Chain A
């Protein structure tokens, strides 16, 4: 079991954001997460990252307690600001090697650098950025920036890859390319992926398992007294239309490209 949650709660003061989360995830799963805005999806990822701790319960990473700060075993791609604006594409990826091997100077030289460079170039090729290695992020399109961020994250061979609405800001056509890319990388590198999305179609057809976050208990007097919980945990691709309707009603999320949705 790569990730285990046992009765995990997250509260900020008296506000309960997440409650009673129980989850077991195997290595190699591709988990998509949907839920209404503000229900705690990003918080969930930040807990996996180690940026936030559980207020109650146990979070385990490969059976050991989840580290309480981010580290190279968990990679991440955010919706934006994931790449370093002051480094060109190659250096953005190369810097991952330099962090690991040059603990003092942060820079590699000579043959070690050549080898790291080759690895970085390979990674850029894997995400289709060979033609843009010398470009700074502000010279790249949104889709290219996200490809770069993915390449960066994969340099560390993370046990799990966390994606927080990584394609939310992209055009539908480019988003399709990115889906193909991420599926390809997931299969070939045997990644374990958690991906938050606002797009139900993405959620239902991209991965292997869908999690829906929602509040099951409501107190009209105190809207923050109860937190969200995992209300659906279903394999992707085998969803009954009625269930889809239910989830759509529950989360209030739109389905992008609805026309071709059922086909």
Chain B
């Protein structure tokens, strides 16, 4: 008998093992839900899978009686717009500020302490300030996301730039590159895959800040909906929404990972 640390499951068994916890959780839920509903068919806490699916389907396909809109899609579009804006602006800031601070000594000396300080501020603590300054509209929500994840992305990009071997920067100069061309042809392309990696890691936090700000002040959005129906203990809406959000988050993560592999074939193979 080999040691446990040396025993590897065959491929298919590995996949099945990965599925196992999900199946078990689902079974446990179904059993608990069935037991509760047997006692009281109107119990809202653990709705059956069928009820949840029906609710979700209705939100996705039937116009709301109050507004005439397809609630799920309106919510999704609103949330994703905010998320995309917040994450996009953060990525842009990450590139510009991170490369400046990492490559240009004068910029680094000026910006690094500020970035470090800002990164220490808990973003949710400034949420009221954002709502007061920018109003309860879209801007405050986007700014919260930027506030929450941009410092992290900037620092990651800056660190990656600083990690570039000096030899490469010297080499570029001996080949006649100006500072600008060093940025354009040496630094930027090597930092881009790292930017996508950093963004992947920051997405979780971005969702957190999005939902937090939507919960407090919004008129539509995935987070807004969840917190709205919480008052009616409408688990049949909340649970599918959570699954939906998780699915979206998973898709973005996958997309960024694939983008890295396709766009930067040299990235994984570095020594």
Which residues of A does B touch, CB under 8 Å?
49, 51, 69-72, 74-76, 78, 80-86, 95-96, 98-100, 103-106, 136-139, 149, 152-153, 155-156, 158
Contacts and interface: CB of A to CB of B under 8 A. Distances in A.
Contact of A99 (B168, B172, B270): B172
Nearest to A136: B266
Please provide the 7 A-B residue pairs with the shortest distance between their CB atoms, ordered closest to farther.
A81-B165, A70-B173, A81-B167, A72-B176, A138-B269, A96-B175, A99-B177
Q: Which of A72, A76, A83, A84 has the most CB of B within 10 A?
A: A84
A199 to B, nearest CB: 21
Contact of B185 (A49, A74, A106, A149): A106
Contact of A106 (B165, B170, B184, B270): B184
B40 to A, nearest CB: 63
Given A106-B184, A136-B265, A96 B167 contact: no
12 contacts: A49-B170, A49-B174, A70-B170, A78-B171, A83-B171, A84-B172, A84-B186, A86-B266, A99-B175, A99-B176, A100-B175, A138-B270
B178 interface: yes
A51 B185 contact: no
Contacts of B267: 86
A72 B167 contact: no
A137 B181 CA distance: 21
Contacts of A100: 175-176
A132 to B, nearest CB: 14
A85 B176 CA distance: 18
Contact of B170 (A76, A85, A99): A76
Contact of A86 (B167, B173, B174, B190): B190
B185 A82 contact: no
B269 A72 contact: no
Given A51-B170, A80-B167, A156 B265 contact: no
Contacts of A72: 174-176
Given A136-B269, A138-B266, A95 B174 contact: no
Interface of A is mostly: loop
A51 B167 CA distance: 11
A155 B174 CA distance: 10
A152 B168 CA distance: 12
A158 B174 contact: yes
Contacts of A105: 184
Contact of A139 (B168, B180, B264, B269): B269
Contacts of A85: 190, 266, 270
Given A96-B176, A99-B172, A78 B185 contact: no
A72 B173 CA distance: 7
B266 A153 contact: no
Contacts of B174: 49, 70-72, 74-76, 153, 156, 158
Contacts of B265: 136
Interface in B225-270: 264-267, 269-270
Contacts of B180: 103-104
A104 B180 CA distance: 8
B11 interface: no
A69 B178 CA distance: 11
Interface string B85-112: 0000000000000000000000000000
Contacts of A76: 170-171, 174
Interface in B152-194: 165, 167-168, 170-178, 180-181, 184-186, 189-190
Contact of A152 (B171, B178, B185): B171
Given A105-B184, A106-B184, 6 more contacts: A72-B174, A76-B171, A82-B168, A99-B176, A100-B176, A138-B271
A27 B240 CA distance: 77
Nearest to B268: A138
A97 B247 CA distance: 47
A138 B190 CA distance: 14
A155 B266 contact: no
A82 B172 CA distance: 9
Contacts of B175: 72, 95-96, 99-100, 152-153, 155-156
Contacts of B178: 99, 103
Contacts of A71: 173-174, 176
Nearest to A88: B266
Contact of B181 (A75, A80, A99, A149): A99
A95 B180 CA distance: 14
B191 to A, nearest CB: 10
Contacts of A82: 167-168, 171
Q: Which of B175, B184, B270 has the most CB of A within 10 A?
A: B175
A21 to B, nearest CB: 21
A155 B269 CA distance: 27
B167 A69 contact: no
Contacts of A153: 174-175
A73 to B, nearest CB: 9
